Chains A and B, each alone.
Chain A
Amino acid sequence: MGPLAPNELISENTNFLLAFFIGIAFGWVLESSGFSSSRKLAGIFYGYDAVVLKVFFTAAITAMLGLLFMSLFGWVDLSLIYVNPTYLTSAIIGGVVMGAGFIMGGFCPGTSFCGAAIGKIDAMVFIAGLFIGVYGFAFTYGWWEKLYLANYLGEPKVSEKLGMSDGLFGLFMILAAIGMFLVAEWAEKKFPREEY
């Protein structure tokens, strides 16, 4: 029964090897969906192209359905799946910083590597900025530590907080996603751009 690595069905090295191939496949799908173009990515903020929303929400829904069904079939133990712990303050501040960087730079961290891989200079500059930010944060961690660790919530699930089953929350999530896709398609027609 999965997950494979925590249950020691595969070794850590095999796990890294699988991650390597999955990473390559992920990058290839990102690039072929147009995620190496910063104009296409930034389209989500202006309404002319919602590919970011569509791809990432479809990925989230697919993963959610896959995990819930595999748990239902007894193939995977959800309690062993790593969930990022929630530090509310840093999640909000980080989200704002990341969003601002996304609008200004036209990439998010993953897609900047995608763009750099096909030789885009703006993506390489973005990666340089990314490393400056990472090292800058690491070397000044002492200043931020209190803020960074504030409002620790553990590993909450929205379904638990709302007191509903995971499956029911999943259904609402799917309906919300389809609603957002409809809005996105409407926006793409409303704010079209010929070339980007």
Chain B
Amino acid sequence: MKQLKLLAFIIIPLGIILAAVPADRISQTRLTPEELLQEAGAGVQFITPDAIADMLVQKDPSLRLIDVRTPEEFDAYSMPGAVNVPLSNLLAEEYKDILNQDAYVNVFYSNGSVYANQAWMITRQLGYENNFVLEGGLNYWFGNILSPQEPAQTSPDEEFARYDFRLSAAAALGGGGVVSTETSAPAVKAAKPAVTAKAKKKPAGGC
């Protein structure tokens, strides 16, 4: 009886500690190198830029773009609605809720696909799901989605269909890549009178 009491005094508090610890802290589901290799080799992490463009045009609420480049690069340009999770800070506690969740389809992107792939590998190894990689990265996005090249006359119909889709997607996403920077100049000019008009209104209000 005395032994049983002693045992109870030791194991019940240990059990309470385990019961109080969050479940995901206890069972870490790491992939074996073989499993990771198999997934990476099959390219299951990639989402095509066309699929992303479609989701963006449809304003799919489940899509969440994650920019893994540096904050400076993110400030210079980011995709619509993207959040910035720099690769160097990927494991920071503040980003855990973003990366480990089951509500959104997270899509990592970087300039190419190397950094985004690294982010995917790390999060996959942590057992996180619903993370993907934008195939080809921003470079492909700019070169093919926002400023699509017209296919040759001899191309199959699918090429034209894709070209048409990309053209309309680019228009909807404010794209045209290089074109947009050119057209943005008059847009700024056009905006200027509006600003001056506002400035005029202010004194008017003062009177």
Q: Which residues of chain A have a CB within 8 Å of any CB of chain B? A: 6, 58, 61, 65, 68-69, 71-72, 74, 77-80, 165-168, 170-171, 173-175, 177-178, 181-182, 185
Chain B residues with a Cβ closer than 8 Å to the other chain, count: 23
Q: A68-B18, A69-B18, A167-B18 are in contact. Are A175 and B30 (CB under 8 A)?
A: no
CB distance from A51 to the nearest CB of B (A): 12
Q: Is B16 an interface residue (CB 8 A)?
A: yes
Q: How far is the CA of A51 from the CA of B1 in the complex (A)?
A: 13
Q: How far is the CA of A174 from the CA of B14 in the complex (A)?
A: 9
Q: Chain B, 1-33, contact with A by CB distance < 8 Å: what is the 0/1 string? A: 100100110011011111111110111111010
Q: How far is the CA of A58 from the CA of B6 in the complex (A)?
A: 13
Q: How far is the CA of A68 from the CA of B23 in the complex (A)?
A: 11
Q: A69-B18, A167-B19, A178-B12 are in contact. Are A74 and B28 (CB under 8 A)?
A: yes
Q: Kindly list chain A residues whose C-beta atoms are within 8 Å of the C-beta of B1.
A: 185
Q: Kindly list chain A residues whose C-beta atoms are within 8 Å of the C-beta of B18.
A: 65, 68-69, 72, 166-168, 170-171
Q: Kindly list chain A residues whose C-beta atoms are within 8 Å of the C-beta of B26.
A: 68, 71-72, 78, 165-167
Q: How far is the CA of A175 from the CA of B13 in the complex (A)?
A: 11
Sampled A-B contacts (9; CB under 8 Å): A61-B11, A65-B11, A72-B25, A79-B28, A80-B30, A166-B26, A178-B4, A181-B7, A182-B4
Pairwise interchain contact B19-A171, C-beta atoms closer than 8 A: yes
Pairwise interchain contact A65-B27, C-beta atoms closer than 8 A: no
Of all A-B residue pairs in the complex, the 5 with the closest CB atoms, nearest first, are A167-B18, A165-B23, A171-B15, A174-B15, A171-B19
Q: Kindly list chain B residues whose C-beta atoms are within 8 Å of the C-beta of A80.
A: 30, 32
Pairwise interchain contact B7-A58, C-beta atoms closer than 8 A: yes
Q: Which residue of B lies closest to A157 (CB)?
A: B27
Q: Kindly list chain B residues whose C-beta atoms are within 8 Å of the C-beta of A181.
A: 4, 7
Candidates A77, A78, A167, A182; contact of B21 at CB < 8 Å: A167
Q: Kindly list chain B residues whose C-beta atoms are within 8 Å of the C-beta of A167.
A: 15, 17-21, 23, 26
Pairwise interchain contact A178-B32, C-beta atoms closer than 8 A: no
CB distance from A64 to the nearest CB of B (A): 9
Candidates A74, A166, A173; contact of B23 at CB < 8 Å: A166
Pairwise interchain contact A174-B23, C-beta atoms closer than 8 A: no
Q: Kindly list chain B residues whose C-beta atoms are within 8 Å of the C-beta of A177.
A: 11
Q: Kindly list chain A residues whose C-beta atoms are within 8 Å of the C-beta of B21.
A: 72, 167
Q: A170-B15, A171-B16, A175-B12 are in contact. Are A77 and B28 (CB under 8 A)?
A: yes
Pairwise interchain contact A174-B28, C-beta atoms closer than 8 A: no
CB distance from B121 to the nearest CB of A (A): 17
Q: Kindly list chain B residues whose C-beta atoms are within 8 Å of the C-beta of A185.
A: 1, 4
Q: How far is the CA of A170 from the CA of B17 in the complex (A)?
A: 10
Pairwise interchain contact A78-B4, C-beta atoms closer than 8 A: no
Q: Kindly list chain B residues whose C-beta atoms are within 8 Å of the C-beta of A77.
A: 28, 30
